[in-house]
Structures are given as structure tokens and as C-alpha cells.
Structure 1
Amino acid sequence: MKDARIVLDNEYNTYYAGQTLNGRIEYEFDSPIKVRGIYVRFKGEANTAWTETKEEQTSTQTDQAQYETRDTMHTGHEEYFNIMYYMLGSAEGSEIEIPAGKQVYNFTCTLPPVLPSSFESQYGYVRYTLKVTLDRPWQFDHHTKLAFTVINPLDLNLNNSYKEPIHLQMEKTFCCLWCASSPLTVDVRAPVSGYCPGQVIPINVDIENKSNVQVHLVQVALRRVVTFRATTPTSATKILREVVVEIQEGPAPAGSTKHWDMRLEVPSIPPSNLVNCGIIDLDYDLNVVCKVSGLHQNLTGKKYVTIGTVPLMGQLAVPTAPPPRPVRDDPAVLPVSPGPPMDSYGGDTSGWTVPGAQPPYQSLYPTLTQPVYKVSPYTARTIQDREDRNHTQVVGPTSFAPCYPTYAAVQPPPLPQ
């Protein structure tokens, strides 16, 4: 076999839960090949894994205490769907000879309407893949595998709490022997609590430094706070806090007053919560750190923010049609209906996510510009798993990264003057 190539019906390989995925496998054979058949498998799953190292005492004799380091691997797993069918032949059928040259086989799959968004991290992932297999009698099967993105919409307009402004107030005095300084006061504001990738968060920082300690830097970071859960060998939890993007200003000398207008652009990242995933929780916060001089402890504070897939359309914006019944208890999660299947796979791509097509919520907000889908900075080391053997060919980028909708053209409301 010269080549194997998987082509999906949109250029971003990105779908919303409930949509229909269509595509084709293109083979190029340099000679005829005998197979039992060709089948495709669609799979959606979440996995968590991390190693915990502990030092345990192996001897109870106090004068000859001995310790041993033990590593425990914690893992968790959820499966959302696993769909397989033959495009040619069958598992029990007779041999079929495929002629040399280019051969094309089409496939389709309607995704379940309730799925968590794609997510990648070093300790776990929510991932969706399809794998096409040449089922060959008495020989190694050949597998061709591709990962694609699934998005569970989170409409910021459907929950009023996302329209609430962010206001963080911090104050600290510094002690020297028995004397306390006048306070350092820091006031941080942002116009709303919900944003989408591509938007710029306007942040006002006001400092009144009546103390005798200099503020070297004020760092404002958007962090993702991920909680991973494992079920094997026992229940365990791991929390990861990592900076997504960070901006900074400074200094603010002792006795000074400072005002900074800061702008923090949200990169292409998955929506908050990972609704419908039971082993990974995803939150975001704005974390503020004021780094001060000397041996004094820094001043810190945080406020949670929500990252959505449908931006706020103004304080009076409401959907022009009643939304479907929400999934679970989150009023911002917007379920969608399956999209129409494709009639053809030739020529230009024509899936619903390519330019000119409408995302499933577009009809609710006629003035909303269409999103630009961008690759996430968080990638998978590999999409191969324990079921994949040496004869599995991964197509697409070497390191898979999901794509998410971005809205640089839709900016949040300004801060009040």
C-alpha cells in the first residue's frame, strides 16, 4: 500500500455534540490486495493518569530504619461512545480483492448530543478519534487513525452571573519589629465574568501604596484549574493550576498611587466545566500577584471567570428563539440537533463549520459574527493508545491539538468610567 488518507467534511475537523460527521478514506494500492473487509470505528473517551511517589518505612527497628520508594499509578477512564461498522465486507465474510490504484470509501457518524468538549493536558484528556482498518486474513491488519475536535456549546447569554463584573480588592500592611506600616491597597476590575477565546479582557488596576515597601510588579494571569480524578487502584484526586496567559505592570514605589489599563487576550482554549465528564473538572480564574520588595510576603488574590463558546451580546441580548432544554443543571449549556449528512465528498470541503456555514446557535443571534476556529496551544503527545499496534498510521499533525471557536470581532463591554 502506497498511501492512506482520511478526509473529513470540514477543514477544521471540528464538530459540535449532536452534529453528523462525514468523511472518506482514500487508499492508494500499488498492487491488488485481499481483505475480509474495511471497517471504521468512532470513539469518544476520557482518561486520567499520573504517578504518585511515596517513601514508606520497611523496617520497624528504630536503630536500623529502612525506607523504600514506591510509585503508584492512578488512572481513570470514561467512554462516551464506541461505534464500529464495516464499509466493505464483514468479519465473517469471504475474501474480497481490492484492485490496484486509488480506492475511496465513505463513512458517516452522528455524534451523541451529550458530550464533553475536547480537552488535552499532561495528566488527562477528553479525546475523539476515528480509525479505519483494513481487515486482512492471515496478515497484520492496517489501521489509519485521526483525532477530531468536539465542542459542547456554552452560551454566556443564558446565565446572568456571567454578566456580573469582576471586582477584586486586596489590602496588606507590612510589619517591621513591632511597627505596622500604612496599608498597600490594590483594586482590580473587569467588566464581566464570562468571555470567549479571541476576546480581550480589559482590566483596570488601581494601587494606593501608603506603605514603605515598593511593589516591583503586578502580575495578572488567566489560569486554568484542572481537577483530575482516578478510580484505579483507589479513588484519588490531583489538582493542576497552570498559567494560560499573563500580563504585568510596575513598579509602584512606596508612597505612590498608580493606575494601569491592562488588556489580556484569551487564547484558543476549551470552555469551562467540561460538562458531562465525570473524571476531569475544568475551571478558570484571574490570579493577581503583587510582588513586593524585601522579605515580605507577596499580596495575592483571585476571581473565577467562565470561558464560553457563545459571547455575551450585550446586557439586553436574548435568543430570538427559545433555546432547547438545557443539559443537566447548567443553564448555559446549549444542546444542538444533528446536522444534515453530506451528499457528496468530492471537490471542495463543504461541512457546516467551513466559512459561510452557520454554527448551531447562529440562528439565535442573527447579528453574531461567525467564529474563527483556531488551534489550541495545548497538544497531545500522541493519540496512539494501548489498542494501537505497530501497524497503526496516524494522519494529521504530529501532535494533535483541538480547535476552538474564537471571537476577536466581538469585544466585551467596556469598564464603567
Structure 2
Amino acid sequence: MSVVKSIELMLPKDAVYLAGSSIKGQVVLTLNSTLVHPIVKVELVGRGYVEWNEEIGASRDYSRDVICNNKADYVHKTKTFPVEDNWLSAGSHTFDFHFNLPPRLPSTFASKIGHVFYFVQAFCMGREHILAKKRMYLLVQGTSDFHAENLLQNPLLVEAEKKVSYNCCSQGTICLQIQMEKNTFRPGERVIFTTEINNQTSKCIKTVIFALYAHVQYEGFTPKAERRSRMDSSELLRQEANTQITPFNTTKIVSAFHLPPVLSVSGGLQDSEIMNTHYELVSTVHLPWSMTSVKAKVPIVITSGPVDSDSRRLMEGAVLPMSSDCRN
């Protein structure tokens, strides 16, 4: 039977930590018997990496895949707990810890190409090997350098117009407008916008799609240290409005999205970063009878200000463990 019965991390449930805030928790170590010369410690780690295959040689008789990758270390802190008299008796022992997150961190992120992840990991070690460990992943929201006076907070109006053909020789115009009070938001905020469709055709419009897209630019290097970049887009949120916009008529649709609690902030790519993200709200009018569509696009800015002195978490609760390991 192992001397260590269990090791647990106690952290607030479903917490979202803002860069620059503090992480407070406990390590609870339960022993089956007395442990001599123990080392009990906890680590805070934040890392990011990107990787993709890039095909080259298209102009030659062959092609091959080049693996482009990049990585970054954002935070690595360790706390070793003092153990009185260099031994611990059988039973449960609780150790308090806290870490301060750096003020400049990217948000927790995951895609097929890149990952940014943070975790707290507790260890109980003997003289030569690890007796037990436990890891819990964290949700961290990055902050932005955007200032209020530089943000586009004025009401916005975006318009798209398209002439479409139908019934062989018939033509008409579809005018699509998006109106918003602002286009700058924080993670978790509600996005409200109004879409106006002016149908100047003799056909009925039945479907309008609203979607929020994230466009991510990844930065990597080849084995020869040649810099490469790759753009990838993903759909974050989507709504479909089934409507009946009759011929030669105008309809308004008011829509709302609730943003996820953790999002990468918008901004330019710096030398130390491996990716940057831009967002776009797109309204699409589908016209199956003309085999085309009309789209209006609004750039969306995601920002998150610096942490207040009294702020510790954006949301209350406990982060659920994604993986753990206990060794005898």
C-alpha cells in the first residue's frame, strides 16, 4: 500500500481568471502512514504552441510537407511548502498557496493548429521519485492594450447591396444593412444588432443567417528557421432566422449573441506572440432561387481591461480537472 492515499487541488469552481489577478487555493495531501523527508510543492504553468504542415514545391515535380511550429512560455512559478521536522503523520494535511498571474497573458485557447493552456499542478515527492501528483487546468482571460478613447464606440451602419437574376431574365436588388450601437465588447457580454433587409425582387426571402467568426493568424517557423504565417477561420456563434420577407418589402430583425466568457482579445501581433485574433459579425441572406447570397460584415473588437486591485476572478466557482495522475 502506498504511503500517499491521495493528493487534491482545491480551487474555485468554473473560475475565469483575469491576467494580473491572483489564484488562491489549497493542496490537500492524505497519507496512509508517516512520510519522512517529504517534498510537497505546487506549480503554476502557462504555455502556448502552434503547429501545422505546409506543402511546398507546387511548381516542381514533387511536393513535401514542411512542419511549421512555434511555442511560448508565459508563466512558470513554483512554491515548495515547508514541512516541520521533515516528516508528516498519517491523515490529511492542508497547504495554502497563491500565485499572481502576470499582467500580460494571452487567453486560454484551443484549435486544431494552436493551443494556449494554463494549469496548476501539485506534487508529493519522496527522496528520489514522485509519490503522487494532480493537475488542474485553468481558464485565463487575457487583457488588452486598447484604451476607451481609441475604441469605435459610435453607432455603426454597414450596408451591402447586390443585383440578382432569377427566372432567366428577371433582375432585382437585395439591400442588407447591419446597425449596432457599438462594435467593442468584453468576453461574456451581450452583442445586440439590427439587420434590415430590403427585398426589391418578386421572390420571397425565407432564411437569414447571423454568425460570429474568429480569424486567427498563426506565426511559426520551419526547420530552417524560416518564418511562416497561416490564417484560419472558425465560426464561434450562429443563429438562423426563418422569416418571410415578401417581394418588394423591407423587414427588420433584432438579434443578440452572448459571447463566451473567455476569448482571445483583438490586437496586433507582437514579436513574443504566436497568434493574433480578429473577429467579424456576418449577416447572410440566402437566395436559393438565384444560387447566390448577400453578405454584410462588421468587424468586432474584443477587449478586456486590466484587473482591479480588488478583483480576483471574473466568475465564481471551481475549475474542473482535465487530467490528473497519482503514482504509488
**Distance across 1 between alignment mates of 2:173 and 2:317:** 44
Secondary structure in structure 1 of the residue aligned to 2:78: strand
Which of 210, 221, 241 is matched with 1:220 structurally? 210
Q: 1:255 to 1:18 in 2, by over 3 A?
A: closer
Which of 62, 75, 78 is matched with 1:81 structurally? 75
Native 8 Å contact 1:51 1:72 kept in 2: yes
> Unaligned 5+ residue runs, structure 2?
none
Q: How does 1:219-298 map to 2 (within 5 A)?
A: 219-233=209-223, 234-249=226-241, 250-273=243-266, 278-298=273-293
Q: How does 1:13-412 map to 2 (within 5 A)?
A: 13-52=15-54, 70-88=64-82, 96-154=86-144, 158-175=148-165, 181-233=171-223, 234-249=226-241, 250-273=243-266, 278-309=273-304, 333-334=305-306, 352-353=312-313, 372=315, 391=326
Native 8 Å contact 2:124 2:133 kept in 1: yes
**Distance across 2 between alignment mates of 1:161 and 1:14:** 24
Q: CA deviation at 1:281?
A: 0.9
**Distance across 2 between alignment mates of 1:141 and 1:51:** 39
**Distance across 1 between alignment mates of 2:33 and 2:53:** 47
Q: CA deviation at 1:99?
A: 2.0
Bigger strand fraction = 2
Q: CA deviation at 1:108?
A: 2.8
Q: 1:19 to 1:255 in 2, by over 3 A?
A: closer
Q: CA deviation at 1:185?
A: 1.1
Which of 3, 6, 15 is matched with 1:3 structurally? 6
The one-letter code sitting in structure 2 at the alignment partner of 1:124 is G
Secondary structure in structure 2 of the residue aligned to 1:116: coil
**Distance across 1 between alignment mates of 2:52 and 2:275:** 13
Secondary structure in structure 2 of the residue aligned to 1:22: strand
Q: CA deviation at 1:213?
A: 4.7
Q: What is the TM-score normalised by the length of structure 1? A: 0.65
Query: Is the deviation greater in 77-86 or in 252-261?
Result: 252-261
> Unaligned 5+ residue runs, structure 1?
61-66, 90-94, 310-332, 340-350, 354-370, 385-389, 394-417
Native 8 Å contact 1:291 1:298 kept in 2: yes
Percentage of identical aligned residues = 17
Secondary structure in structure 1 of the residue aligned to 2:260: coil
Native 8 Å contact 2:215 2:277 kept in 1: yes
Native 8 Å contact 1:143 1:391 kept in 2: yes
The one-letter code sitting in structure 1 at the alignment partner of 2:263 is P
Q: What is the TM-score normalised by the length of structure 2? A: 0.80
**Distance across 2 between alignment mates of 1:49 and 1:134:** 33
Q: CA deviation at 1:4?
A: 1.1
**Distance across 2 between alignment mates of 1:279 and 1:208:** 43
For these two proteins, the number of residue pairs brought into alignment is 319
Native 8 Å contact 2:8 2:29 kept in 1: yes
**Distance across 1 between alignment mates of 2:39 and 2:258:** 49
Q: 1:262 to 1:82 in 2, by over 3 A?
A: closer
Q: 1:164 to 1:373 in 2, by over 3 A?
A: farther
Native 8 Å contact 1:213 1:292 kept in 2: no
Q: 1:375 to 1:257 in 2, by over 3 A?
A: farther
**Distance across 2 between alignment mates of 1:268 and 1:196:** 9
The one-letter code sitting in structure 2 at the alignment partner of 1:82 is H
**Distance across 1 between alignment mates of 2:82 and 2:104:** 30
The one-letter code sitting in structure 2 at the alignment partner of 1:246 is R
Native 8 Å contact 2:143 2:265 kept in 1: no
Q: CA deviation at 1:204?
A: 1.9
The one-letter code sitting in structure 1 at the alignment partner of 2:44 is F
Q: 1:222 to 1:292 in 2, by over 3 A?
A: same
**Distance across 1 between alignment mates of 2:256 and 2:128:** 62
The one-letter code sitting in structure 1 at the alignment partner of 2:190 is V
Q: Deviation per CA, 1:175-214: give whole Å up to 9, x if none.
A: 4699572321112211111223444333222222223454
Native 8 Å contact 2:55 2:65 kept in 1: yes
Q: 1:176 to 1:102 in 2, by over 3 A?
A: closer
The one-letter code sitting in structure 1 at the alignment partner of 2:233 is R
Q: CA deviation at 1:24?
A: 1.9
Q: CA deviation at 1:57?
A: 10
